[in-house]
Amino acid sequence: MVISDSTQADDEVLVVRPDLTDAELNELFAASWPTHQPTVFAAKLSRSLAWIAARRGSRLVGFVNIVGDGGVHAFILDTTVHPDERRKGLGIRLVRAAANEARTRGAEWLHVDYEPHLESFYGQCGFRPTAAGLMRL
């Protein structure tokens, strides 16, 4: 399903659950995250509630994954925007599209973990900070 938003650029397309290759996801993640190691994404996506991809032309420029607990909670993972596309609102559009898709699929709560420097970004997306626990395994 293609998502249309009046704030997106003319040649930008957001799509729910598109077919994505490991090669294009690894290319996006490698450009966006310096420590990224090649990953087989098919196994990860097979357990996802949904994902949203952003393309500019044929190029993958953004991605966000949504996982669920089978009930009312969903979680945002792997929000990624290509460095060439940052600071243009694409990340916010991706996360808001993910929130809408999670709601459509029955979620009542959407969670996200983030580092302190991303608090403003996720605040613009509609999240409020909460106390949470984390254990490294």
Task: Set out the domains of the chain in order of their start, with CATH numbers.
Answer: 2-125 (3.40.630.30)
The pLDDT profile of the chain, 137 residues, written as one tens digit per residue, is 666 554 555 689 999 999 999 999 999 999 999 999 999 998 889 999 999 999 999 999 999 999 999 999 999 999 999 999 999 999 999 999 999 999 999 999 999 999 999 999 999 999 999 988 888 89
pLDDT at site 38: 95
How many CB atoms within 10 Å of residue 106? 12
Q: 103 φ, ψ to 5°?
A: -60, -45
Q: What pTM value is reported for the model?
A: 0.90
- Helix H or strand E encompassing 92: helix 90-104
